[in-house]
């Protein structure tokens, strides 16, 4: 019981922190912490830092990023933010403590859901169910249903269809075509596969670097988002070895993320995270295969 109270308390703080700095910044800092964790392990240290800091109840996406998603949806619903999809905006700048409070509550819900899903995942073969990724997706769905006005999937505008949005509606316009997605996937899958097989303690490093690169989005640079491809490539390399399956898995994950974006994100008014569901679905496919 004490452990649960501590975890939920940290998750509340993490949700407030994630909302205050913005979801993208919180995820980028998670990537930075994950790089440090891999460095500790490569130096012969314990994986405890990695478990408690980048993936723990304060900075982990299930708390900090989830809290930011909920807080942005709430802020938009109350008219404090122009769009609930804006997970770049540091919500502390709004000067509305109720927004940060909702972020803290979102972090607690996310951590509780993650712990529940983690028990289910533990009973499945590797890689199992990615409880963290599924938590982020479900928090986004819950926020949309409770605080959004667009409905779960939104409605395409004039001259648009569900699977052919206009350039203005796309998730990442420069990362929307299959050829571009495939090349980006290969660019992270090759080092992910090579490093994971050569130095197993370094598994997670390419994902961490990809996650940390999100911090460059804060400068307004249109950076690609490749963390989901890198993570699944590392998992596939740990399972299968070689480069081919990790590359196929990374491409599959990239295409899935774009599909999820067109299904749930681009016509909605709150954030439902495409990489999160893509990671979860790819992990299940790898497990079944």
Domain of 30?
A: 2-288
Number of domains in the chain: 1
CA torsion 251→174→140→232, rounded to 10°?
Answer: 20
Scan for tokens 């989901």, then name that residue: 228
The answer to whether 278 and 150 are in contact (CB under 8 A) is: no
Q: Rounded CA gap, 115 and 135, in Å?
A: 9
- Helix or strand holding residue 49 (H, E): helix 48-52
CA dihedral sign of residues 263, 266, 271, 276: positive
* pLDDT < 50 positions in the chain: none
Q: Count Cβ atoms below 10 Å from residue 101 Cβ, excluding itself.
A: 16
Handedness of CA 256, 257, 258, 263 (dihedral sign): positive
Q: Quick one: pLDDT at residue 159?
A: 79
pLDDT at 62: 97
Q: What pLDDT, on a 0 to 100 scale, did the predictor assign at position 122?
A: 80
Q: Which helix (H) or strand (E) holds 181?
A: helix 178-198
């Amino acid at each position: 019981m004490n452990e649960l109270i501590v975890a939920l308390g940290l998750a509340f703080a993490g949700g407030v922190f994630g909302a205050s700095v913005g979801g993208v910044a919180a995820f980028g800092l998670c990537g930075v912490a994950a790089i440090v964790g891999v460095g500790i392990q490569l130096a012969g240290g314990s994986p405890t830092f990695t478990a408690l800091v980048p993936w723990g109840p304060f900075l982990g996406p299930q708390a900090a990023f989830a809290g930011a998603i909920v807080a942005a949806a709430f802020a938009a619903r109350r008219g404090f933010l122009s769009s609930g999809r804006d997970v770049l905006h540091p919500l502390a700048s709004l000067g509305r403590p109720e927004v940060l409070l909702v972020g803290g509550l979102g972090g607690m819900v996310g951590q509780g859901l993650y712990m529940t899903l983690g028990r289910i995942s533990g009973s499945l073969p590797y890689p199992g169910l990615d409880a963290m990724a599924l938590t982020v997706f479900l928090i986004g769905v819950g926020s949309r249903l409770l605080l959004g006005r667009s409905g779960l999937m939104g409605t395409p505008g004039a001259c648009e269809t569900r699977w052919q949005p206009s350039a203005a509606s796309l998730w990442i316009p420069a990362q929307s075509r299959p050829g571009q997605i495939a090349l980006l996937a290969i660019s992270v899958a090759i080092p992910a596969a090579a490093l994971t097989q050569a130095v197993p303690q370094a598994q997670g490093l390419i994902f961490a670097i990809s996650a940390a690169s999100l911090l460059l989005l804060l400068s307004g640079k249109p950076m690609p988002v490749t963390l989901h491809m890198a993570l699944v490539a590392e998992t596939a390399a740990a399972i299968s070895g070689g480069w081919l399956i990790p590359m196929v898995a990374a491409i599959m994950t990239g295409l899935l993320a774009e599909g999820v974006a067109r299904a749930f994100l681009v016509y909605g008014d709150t954030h439902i995270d495409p990489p999160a569901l893509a990671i979860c679905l790819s992990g299940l496919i790898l497990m079944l295969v």
